[in-house]
A and B are shown apart, each in its own frame.
Chain A
Amino acid sequence: MPEEREDYFNIADINRDYEELYGFRTASAYMQGAERGVSPEIIREISRIKNEPRWMLDFRLNALDLFNAMPDPPWIDASIFKDINYDDLYFYARASDKQFNNWDDVPADIRDTFDRLGVPEAERKFLAGVSAQFESEVVYHHIQEELEKQGVIFLDFDSGLREHEELVRTYLGTLVPPGDNKFAALNSAAWSGGSFVYVPPGVKVTIPLQAYFRINAESIGQFERTIIIADKGSSVHYIEGCTAPVYSRIAFHTGVIELFAMEDAYLRYTTIQNWSNNVLNLVTQRAVANRNATVEWMDGNLGARTTMKYPAVYLAEPGARGRVLSIGYANKGQRQDAGAKMIHAAPRTTSAITAKSISQNGGRSSYRGLVQVKKGASHVKTDVECDALLLDDFSESDTYPTIDVREREDVHVMHEATVGKVSDEVIYYLKSRGIPEKDAVLMVINGFLKEFTDELPMEYAVELNRLIQLEMEGTIG
């Protein structure tokens, strides 16, 4: 059915109005076999197909009850949620339903988009769903062998549950309980895909663990569920997603990510999400940092119609460190509501939040953050910096910072917020050196995002720059 495929995958021009042009008009042909709506029957069916243990089914069913009973998040205007019709969503589709068998079957315009982005061959095949003939399988197996020698577990969540049931059961839902918020409840009920990572004590994983290497599984599915445990003194960097546009048939993505950094461990989670512009992207990301451990969230949000995402770190024991470095890019019709939470629950803990946003063509970016210093958490240092860049006069940026300090002894709280524009004078200065206007604007934007891109592995930084270039194309004279 090549003609249907054409229809789904017309993602080449990410600047166009997605819904208007492509919508979901023909989605049904592609989704044959999947059932609509969320009900105990569907949940039982998911669990049965996956051959899950009884406790997991109970976990799901309990979460479904919570989901049905809970209201929408109250802190953002309700209009965001009004378009969601839960009965109309497809809650589970077998992975094989969306795979192409051959790279040549992938529509030319998608291949072209990946070319323009310079996405690595291996990654683009994965993104386009050609996982059956994934050429870097060899590379993947090599990486897996190396990891296994070190005792590192790096699996999709289903396999993690099958092979390490007790570990999963010990940690699942302990940082993000199903009742935490409506979307965490939905994820807990209907989760599918995601990663399970365990790094044994003292093991330093030298290469970043990249989700796209983990083949034959949905790494960035609609309801992904991820648990990463960095045991004592270990170190790991996990990268999820990539900058290429990820087309989703379903206009709704809600993930739950739980990170555990044990004593002296170092754990970094990098994600760059670029959902198609029809998607409502609601992710609950939470981490705990134990004694002298460090957790870092590097969070890039492009694409999606609305993003709501506030990565959190519980600084649970003395000496723990937390960091969130995020960027958001809100283009026409988009809203990026992103931020961070740092909970200082122990003395001598430090945290730093850097949130950068760009708004363009009427897009809206918000920073929503919480820094809490609990009673008894003395000798604490926390630093929040939010910088917004507006590319025109009709885009918006706002900040909702909450700082709640309950300890008096030696607590240093810094909060700084700036809103800036790309000034005509700066562009004129660059143009006076022969640099065309659109390149000049890009230089200013890339400079603004430099703290973030500097932290990315080279190939991701390059992709991100190219992507921003594509976002800008056609919007500047």
Chain B
Amino acid sequence: MSEILLDVRGLCASVLSDEDESEKEILRGVDLTIHRGEVHVLMGINGSGKSTLAHVLMGHPKYRLTSGECHFKGKNITEMDSDEKARLGLFLAFQYPHTIHGLSVGTFLKAAVEAKRGEQIPFRTFRTELDEAMSHLGIKKEFLGRSLNEGFSGGEKKRTEILQMRLLQPELAILDETDSGLDVDALKLVFNSVREYAGPENAFLIVTHYDRVLDYINPTHVHIMADGRIVKSGGAELSKRIDSSGFEAVLAE
């Protein structure tokens, strides 16, 4: 078996309420191991903690880790800052990417790629690389001058997220419901790009509601999350069973 990329043990996390500073526990002991070359799909009903897990792994400031540990590439990343994790090779495609007025897509992408690689990249070199990545995702050049995610359609946002993934070349890419809100054509474009990128050196954790992404990418593992834990794990067949019988029935098995 290939090298362990991500190892999560007994991870518990709470969300901090904006109003009354109370804490609500969302993750209640998650265990998950991902090796290089694997594609994991994480399913579960709304509120089961899927997206929270994705954001806790990336380091969202609104969550507090109460116990457990995360190791990535052998390093303890439990307390690590998000930017450091990203530079180490972790990536999260957001379900709802943020809008930043006045920050052009081009400027942002160059800054991100330079931060990740730790060096300045000559404009022409970067542009060549960028043009190629954009053409794969059907993103037009005019896009580069627009403010990041400002006025983007749902599909444009998702494609821009995957464009970032392609440029940043993470070792572990977490896709948080990247498939939701995409029409069939966009879904095909986005997940063909994901499949193209997937290889023996990297791995994916794909958070989704539906099994339709499985038409484009073959998972090595499927997990079902409920009530803040991974309660069932299996292969691709697990998602087929969910699709035909529903979560309740599969969990009751």
Contacts and interface: CB of A to CB of B under 8 A. Distances in A.
Contact of A424 (B61, B81, B108, B116): B61
Chain B interface residue number, banded: 20 to 34
Interface string B49-92: 00000000011111000000000000000000111011100011
Given A428-B59, A443-B103, A435 B112 contact: yes
B97 A434 contact: no
A440 B115 CA distance: 11
Contacts of B85: 432
B103 A433 contact: no
Contacts, number: 81
A450 B148 CA distance: 13
A444 B100 CA distance: 7
Interface string A391-431: 00000000000000000000000000000000111101111
B61 A447 contact: no
Interface string B135-149: 000000000000100
Given A432-B92, A443-B111, A450 B82 contact: no
B111 A429 contact: no
A448 B82 contact: no
B115 A450 contact: no
Interface in B231-252: none
Contacts of A73: none
Given A428-B82, A443-B111, A447-B103, A433 B98 contact: no
Interface string A290-307: 000000000000000000
A434 B86 CA distance: 5
B116 A433 contact: yes
B115 A439 contact: yes
A428 B61 contact: yes
A431 B83 contact: yes
Given A433-B112, A434-B116, A434-B168, A446 B102 contact: yes
Nearest to A448: B102
A447 B83 contact: no
B86 A432 contact: yes
A434 B100 contact: no
A447 B100 contact: yes
Contacts of B97: 429
A208 interface: no
A444 B81 CA distance: 19
Interface in A324-373: none
Interface string B97-114: 110111100011001100
A435 B102 contact: no
Nearest to B167: A433
A432 B83 CA distance: 5
Contacts of A197: none
Contact of A436 (B60, B83, B91, B107): B83
B108 A443 contact: yes
B83 A429 contact: no
Given A432-B59, A446-B103, 15 more contacts: A425-B60, A426-B98, A431-B59, A431-B81, A432-B91, A433-B83, A433-B86, A433-B168, A434-B86, A434-B116, A435-B86, A436-B83, A440-B83, A443-B111, A451-B102
For the complex of A and B, 8 pairs with smallest distance between CB atoms: A447-B102, A450-B102, A434-B86, A433-B112, A434-B115, A447-B103, A431-B83, A431-B82
27 contacts: A423-B98, A424-B62, A425-B60, A426-B98, A428-B58, A428-B59, A428-B61, A430-B112, A431-B82, A432-B82, A432-B83, A432-B91, A433-B164, A434-B115, A435-B111, A435-B112, A437-B83, A443-B103, A443-B111, A444-B103, A446-B102, A446-B103, A447-B103, A448-B101, A448-B102, A450-B101, A450-B102
